[in-house]
Structure 1
Amino acid sequence: MKFGPVPIEQAEGAVLAHATAAGERRFRKAHRLSSDDVMALKAAGVREVVAAVLSSDDLGEDTAAAKIAAGMRHRNVEVKPAATGRVNLHAATAGIFTVEAKMIDAINAVDPAITVATLAQHAPVEKGQMVATVKIIPFAVAASLVDAVVKICAGGEIFAVNAYRPVNVGVIQTTLPGVKPSVLDKTLRVTEARLSRSGGRLTAERRTPHEVAPVAEAATALARGNDMVVIFGASAMSDFADVVPAAIERAGGTVIRAGMPVDPGNLLVLGTLAGKRIIGAPGCARSPKENGFDWVLDRLIAGLDVTARDIAGMGVGGLLMEIPTRPQPREPLPAPQSARSEPRVDIVLLAAGRSSRMGGPNKLLALFDGEPLVRRTAERALGSKAASTIVVTGHQRERVRSVLSGLDVRLADNPDFADGLASSLKAGIAQVAPDAAGAMIVLGDMPGVSSKDLDSL
């Protein structure tokens, strides 16, 4: 390929480097000039154009990108059509992204004209999210270079989205004097929200003393009917012979790894029992913020093995954002007058409407997966990073409030609910904390919205 100024008489078949006007006609960048185009440019007084002239062994940028993408082997990935020298590849399902880094490096070493970029290894992805892109830098590239890349692609699976599986999880929470039931209840909500993003389900919970024998007994029982068991200790692991790892071994299981180089998440324990995975959750897993527990849990739910060596290799990139509320932060907490590390946001959940378009029934009380819609939405709100959740009630307020029983929400009454949504907004905003930077308005009738969606917003 030759690039540069081209006399207009020689420009047929050339690819324009810039948008070019010919009277009222305008040719876009990357347009391939036909004989009629050349005549129009001549008539407009154009003497030369800046363009790329392809040789017989060149492939146009779209053709080259499409050929490379077609040569890739992957799973659960959708290939989009080529445009402007680029092919984007998207996740066909939610899951964990894995990539063969050596193959990507080899492709990018062939020639700077050909590039492939991907998400990081083990990145969690949503359905439809872009996971990789093939980009041809110039307007054309030698066919021999494309063939070299396709040959690399034939070497095996280059990347994949490992789909989440709807696993059943049993939870054990140990107790010590002074542990509040509300803390345990919140832990369950946060855990359910974590599982919901992958279609998992929390099937059972057992609360035991923080002692080896009762924890071992509960783990044995829960391992029988679940795919995985998660143990939340009332006290963080302080030794490899502490309660949680000792209970796994007493139950006949094996501790794969105690401790991980991810912070928050250092005190995680990973083991097996009766062929099932057991996770001793670090204290930070009681928070919805990302921590090392998420890294291990998501991989296991996606059907990926997690070994002691895998955990040992998580240190680079393992320093995550601090969770300000954890008891032992990495650094001393700032003085009270300092600005908050993150602005406070409260959720105002609107649940006062009359469901008039339903023709009678209150849609907020309709069951989704056996649970009233408004409760499902409130649980998703509580599982998010929002500081608090305010539920505005009005129509059938007593029925709505009854299905929210036991949830850590604040209730705001709107006696003027019949006047419309604005009155509910007013009632809800009035309950937002004075130090809040803002409020997120959440509608009670959107069952597909997850805690992660709210966090993204």
Structure 2
Amino acid sequence: MRKKIVNLDQAINHILSHDLTKIDVESGYKGPRFKKGHVIKEEDISVLRSMGREHLTVLELEEDEVHEDDAALALGLAMRGDGLKLRGPNEGRCDLVSEKKGLLCFDPDKIHFINDDPDWVVVTANPYTVIGPGDLVAGFRILPLAIKKAQLERAIKISARFEVKGFNPLKVGLVTTGREIKAGVIEDAFRPKLEKKVAYFGGNVVGQNIVGDESEEISAAIRDFLNRGADIVICTGGMSVDADDNSPRAISEVCDEIKFKGIPVLPGSMLMLGLKGEKVIIGAPACVVHDEWTSLDLILPRIFAGLIPTLEEIRRFGVGGLCRRCKNCTFPNCSFGVKI
């Protein structure tokens, strides 16, 4: 990139080499009217003349260079996936903004690869963040006024694509275990909490089967919901290691595959998840009743977005899997469940 001086009439489509200050005596304003890197447009000419400009110092790109705005726009178009809109460019920066409610998905390792080039800055929200319409999910820019075409091509080739996976309106059946609840000695406290959590994702609790502690009775209640078209069955109670707690055994009897039993998250380490075909069966930990946020709240967004976590992913939940029980809770905008 090199500097040269041009007449104002020849400045259109050229890049300013430095800020141009405007002084307005009437308003008392003094500050940059056009910033370094601005590409001169036809409508700028009259403004520049009013500022007393007849010549400008501009930058001329080499054949192998790309202007900051063009580079940011090209990367933005390559990174924008479903559910996102591109905002910018402005001074070499573009943003990705969500168009819907859903789960933010991308590969963080690919972002690290782009940022290995010190001329790029790509900054994101955390992967698997629950976001809504209008939320900013990523911003990126180049630091110099221009970069080499090879740098842009490398960044695009990495294929760091962002996507917002919308939540599916799944049908949920609740299987509540416990002789004391079945007999009416105590009232079930799980359903109100779970109905609220399920509704947030657009789901619907289609019913509740209250059963005793026998494995056969629990598994029969699970199968009943599966036969009635439930997409998810959540079992509450009977998930500990007590002799009378048989929910894990019943879930194992019904499922074709157990994805995990136990998760490195506190509260909620006793969470269990299995599959019967494409149906999801969850054994919810007892802490769901008394803790506002648990391991269940880290898993439900993925399930409603159609993403079943693998065992390898689950074993990595330990880093960031500790709820600090902050006095002023801001979940999900906090460190609980953050995956970097």
TM bucket (normalised to shorter chain) is: 0.7 to 0.9
Tell me, yes or no, if the aligned pair for 2:179 and 2:211 is still in contact at 8 Å: no
Q: What is the distance in 2 between the residues matched to 1:307 and 1:142? A: 40
Q: Deviations over 1:375-395 (max 9, x none)?
A: xxxxxxxxxx9xxxxxxxxxx
Tell me, yes or no, if the aligned pair for 1:254 and 1:271 is still in contact at 8 Å: yes
Q: Deviations over 1:76-121 (max 9, x none)?
A: 2222232232211122322222212232222222x32222222222
Percent identity of the aligned residues?
Answer: 24
Q: 1:41 to 1:32 in 2, by over 3 A?
A: farther
Q: Deviations over 1:136-176 (max 9, x none)?
A: 223333333222222333xxx62221221110000011124
Q: Which of the numbers 280, 283, 287 marks the counterpart of 1:284?
A: 287
**In the alignment, does 2:135 pair up with 1:129?**
yes
Tell me, yes or no, if the aligned pair for 1:220 and 1:273 is still in contact at 8 Å: no
Tell me, yes or no, if the aligned pair for 1:190 and 1:287 is still in contact at 8 Å: no
Corresponding residue for residue 326 of structure 1: none
Corresponding residue for residue 325 of structure 2: 322
Q: What is the distance in 2 between the residues matched to 1:239 and 1:121? A: 37
**In the alignment, does 2:271 pair up with 1:265?**
no
Corresponding residue for residue 431 of structure 1: none
Q: What is the distance in 1 between the residues matched to 2:145 and 2:244? A: 63
Corresponding residue for residue 227 of structure 1: 231
Corresponding residue for residue 117 of structure 1: 123
Q: 1:181 to 1:303 in 2, by over 3 A?
A: farther
Q: Which moved more, 1:91-100 or 1:217-226?
A: 91-100
Matching residue's letter, 2:225: L
Matching residue's letter, 2:142: I
Q: Calculate the aligned-residue CA RMSD, in Å.
A: 3.7
Q: 1:41 to 1:56 in 2, by over 3 A?
A: farther
Q: Which residues in structure 2 correspond to 1:40-55 (within 5 Å)? A: 53-55=59-61
Q: Report SS of the residue matched to 1:220.
A: helix
Corresponding residue for residue 349 of structure 1: none
Q: Report SS of the residue matched to 2:263.
A: coil
Q: Which residues in structure 2 correspond to 1:22-421 (within 5 Å)? A: 27-30=33-36, 31-32=38-39, 53-57=59-63, 58-72=65-79, 74-109=81-116, 111-153=117-159, 158-177=161-180, 184=188, 186-225=189-228, 226-233=230-237, 235-238=238-241, 242-251=245-254, 253-273=256-276, 275-287=278-290, 289-322=292-325, 341-342=327-328
Matching residue's letter, 1:134: F
Q: What is the distance in 1 between the residues matched to 2:222 and 2:328? A: 37
Q: What is the distance in 2 between the residues matched to 1:2 and 1:181? A: 84
Q: How does the TM-score come out when normalised to structure 2?
A: 0.78
Q: 1:240 to 1:120 in 2, by over 3 A?
A: farther
Q: What is the distance in 2 between the residues matched to 1:27 and 1:241? A: 75
What 5-or-longer segments of structure 2 have no aligned partner? 334-340
Matching residue's letter, 1:136: I
Corresponding residue for residue 336 of structure 2: none
Q: How does the TM-score come out when normalised to structure 1?
A: 0.60
Tell me, yes or no, if the aligned pair for 1:191 and 1:286 is still in contact at 8 Å: no
Offset of residue 236 of structure 1: 4.4
Offset of residue 250 of structure 1: 3.3
Tell me, yes or no, if the aligned pair for 1:15 and 1:139 is still in contact at 8 Å: no
Offset of residue 259 of structure 1: 0.8
Tell me, yes or no, if the aligned pair for 1:167 and 1:228 is still in contact at 8 Å: yes
What 5-or-longer segments of structure 1 have no aligned partner? 324-340, 344-384, 386-451, 453-457
Q: 1:246 to 1:284 in 2, by over 3 A?
A: same
Q: What is the distance in 2 between the residues matched to 1:127 and 1:240? A: 48
Matching residue's letter, 2:212: P
Corresponding residue for residue 16 of structure 2: 15
Tell me, yes or no, if the aligned pair for 2:171 and 2:231 is still in contact at 8 Å: yes
Offset of residue 246 of structure 1: 0.6
Matching residue's letter, 1:174: T
Tell me, yes or no, if the aligned pair for 1:16 and 1:28 is still in contact at 8 Å: no
Matching residue's letter, 2:150: S
Q: Which moved more, 1:21-30 or 1:58-67?
A: 21-30
Q: What is the distance in 2 between the residues matched to 1:23 and 1:254? A: 72
Number of residue pairs matched by the alignment: 317
Q: What is the distance in 1 between the residues matched to 2:240 and 2:147? A: 57
Offset of residue 9 of structure 1: 8.8
Matching residue's letter, 1:53: L
Matching residue's letter, 1:150: I
Q: What is the distance in 2 between the residues matched to 1:166 and 1:288? A: 25
Q: What is the distance in 1 between the residues matched to 2:322 and 2:19? A: 45
Q: Report SS of the residue matched to 1:316.
A: coil
Corresponding residue for residue 417 of structure 1: none
Q: What is the distance in 2 between the residues matched to 1:230 and 1:301? A: 13
Q: Which has the higher contact order (CA 8 A, sep 6+)?
A: 2
Q: 1:17 to 1:230 in 2, by over 3 A?
A: farther
Matching residue's letter, 1:318: G
